[in-house]
Amino acid sequence: MKSDVKSQQLRTEANRLYVHQKFYDALLKYNESLCAAESESENMGLAFANRSAVYFEMKLYDKCLSNIELAKKNCYPEKNLEILKKRENKCLQLLKQNDDANQCEDFLSSFELSYPGNDELPFIANCLEMEVDSKYGRYIVTKRHLKVGDIVAIDEPTFKVIKADSRYSTCYDSNVFQRCGGCMKENLLGLIPCTSCCRTMYCSIDCMKSSHKRHHKYECEIVDELLTSGIMHIVVRMLLEGLSLFDGDIHEMEKFLTQHTEPMTIFNLNSKSWKSVEGRRKMFLAALSLPSCVSDEKVDLENYENIFMKTKKLKGLWNSNESFIRKILVKLVHVGTHYVHGIGGWSLNQKFNEEEPKNPSFYQQLNGNGLYLFCSLLNHSCAPNIKRLNVDDKVVVIVSRPIEKGEQLFDSYRPNFNNQAKTIRQEALMKDYGFVCDCEACYNDWPLNHNLNVFSEELLEFAWGLHEELPFMTVADAKKMLYKCYDAIAQHHEHFPSAELIVLQECVSNCLILITKPSLQFP
């Protein structure tokens, strides 16, 4: 429920954080205060104005000006206008002097495909193809030799949701107050609130309108429950976005799905048609075509039924076609449980602390969950030959060991062979994915970390030294070291699995994560 009293309280808390120069936490609180403000209340204007003060301090003059505009348009009290005007003038002067360099960064520009893209799917290298057999089901092979470090796909989520995750954030729900609920993009916390709920913000009116149409009109009243429901949120989101492709008509949706039963994968799609309803329907079909990994009986829909009963709209939907909704939910729960990947990223005020573990991956937080149709086709090996890297909401697929022409690309669904005993890995893979793993690590009983071979003490020392130094390196140095690691892994590949190569692989992961570290850090 929107509440001016709550909004005022939150703004007071934010002001306190601002005074102590805790600008990141202050912005989160101002955003929370904005979300809580009742419509046409001066609390909106005041929160936008105070947010502009934070941006001013951070020398983000463009953002400062746009927030002053928002304050003026949203009931900022006339009597205080002079203060805003002063800030605006100062801002305009300073903007002339220095370019606003601290805009949101385009990390993807550091990552481009290493080979020409597929004609229909330009984000997948044209050397990759899908094959099918009775052992693996569908899988991805390469039609050319791939080198360590090659980028072979930059996959986009077909469906995605923000996740409220308190693990590494300073403020519970911080994702909600720093990412757009529609496109999920980070925009330095310069968001506008949903007009109805207190837990959704957007980067623009366009994102707000499009989200409302696709899912938020159903989710708005139960957004708190959904945000903390884990996989349930993306399952419900997939159903609602699917439904929006049939203008909310569940019977039309059922008719369409009954007529289109042929399995589909991303390789049946053409990215040029993705914005059209026809294209989106095909994407929805591709999501529904993902095979179930465990039996349908294991899916319990009680929580789903409960959540549908919480709002009039969802209850009406459920009651209008319960048997079909149950059927499709079972399918989507399989998809949500076995195919959805976490979307990770850096916080805007994450700093390395000497006392914390020196592993950059520790500093990424979980921002959301996404369904990636290309990555969904990657089978498992306990010794994978690719690595997935989150860049914004995309997944960049990078070759981590040389792959010969005709060989399969393997991801890893579990801890790798060197980090977990074979029996534990195999049991988990059987339980969760229903197959017996006979990857080269399982087949050859490759050892755990402490029993790995060492072929060069010198290289091992170099690798460990780098591992220690990496968290404190600049992004430019991390980029240089990344290529050094790629070269060393390629050069000594025949020694795999050895301690040196395993440590170097971890250095590669850490270098890659460091490259996506935002240069702007809020205090």
Binding site for ligand SAM (CB under 6 A): 135-139, 290-291, 293, 338-339, 376-377, 379-380, 433-435, 437, 439
* Secondary structure class of 450 (helix, strand, coil): helix
Q: Which is nearer to ligand SAM, 137 or 465 (CB)?
A: 137
Smallest distance from ligand SAM to CB 414, Å = 11
Q: Which is nearer to ligand SAM, 198 or 442 (CB)?
A: 442
Q: Are strands 364-372 and 157-162 parallel, antiparallel or unpaired?
A: antiparallel
What type of residue sits at position 350?
Q
Q: How far is CA 523 from CA 26, 170, 307, in A?
A: 10, 12, 39
Q: Which is nearer to ligand SAM, 63 or 138 (CB)?
A: 138
Q: Which is nearer to ligand SAM, 137 or 357 (CB)?
A: 137
Q: Which is nearer to ligand SAM, 46 or 437 (CB)?
A: 437
Smallest distance from ligand SAM to CB 300, Å = 20
Both tokens assigned to 466: 């780098």
Which residues are CB-neighbours of 46 under 8 A, at least 6 positions away? 11, 71, 76, 77
Q: What is the CA radius of gyration of the chain?
A: 25
Cα–Cα distance for residue pair 456/183, rounded to 1 Å:
48
Smallest distance from ligand SAM to CB 453, Å = 24
Is omega for the bond preceding 384 within 30 degrees of 0, making it cis? Answer: no
Both tokens assigned to 89: 């003038």
Which residues are CB-neighbours of 363 under 8 A, at least 6 positions away? 168, 346, 347, 350, 352, 513
Q: How far is CA 392 from CA 48, 115, 361, 368, 412, in A?
A: 26, 22, 15, 11, 21
Q: Which is nearer to ligand SAM, 281 or 341 (CB)?
A: 341
Q: Which is nearer to ligand SAM, 136 or 464 (CB)?
A: 136
Smallest distance from ligand SAM to CB 403, Å = 15
Smallest distance from ligand SAM to CB 439, Å = 6
Q: Nearest-CB residue to ligand SAM?
A: 137
Smallest distance from ligand SAM to CB 226, Å = 24
Q: Which is nearer to ligand SAM, 377 or 502 (CB)?
A: 377
Smallest distance from ligand SAM to CB 376, Å = 5
Both tokens assigned to 249: 């008509």
* Secondary structure class of 172 (helix, strand, coil): coil
Smallest distance from ligand SAM to CB 313, Å = 33
Number of Cβ atoms within 10 Å of the Cβ of 5: 10
Cα–Cα distance for residue pair 2/24, rounded to 1 Å:
23
Q: Which is nearer to ligand SAM, 302 or 445 (CB)?
A: 445
Both tokens assigned to 274: 């993705």
Q: For residue 370, how many C-alpha atoms fall within 13 Å in the half-sphere facing its CB?
A: 23
* Secondary structure class of 355 (helix, strand, coil): coil
Smallest distance from ligand SAM to CB 485, Å = 26
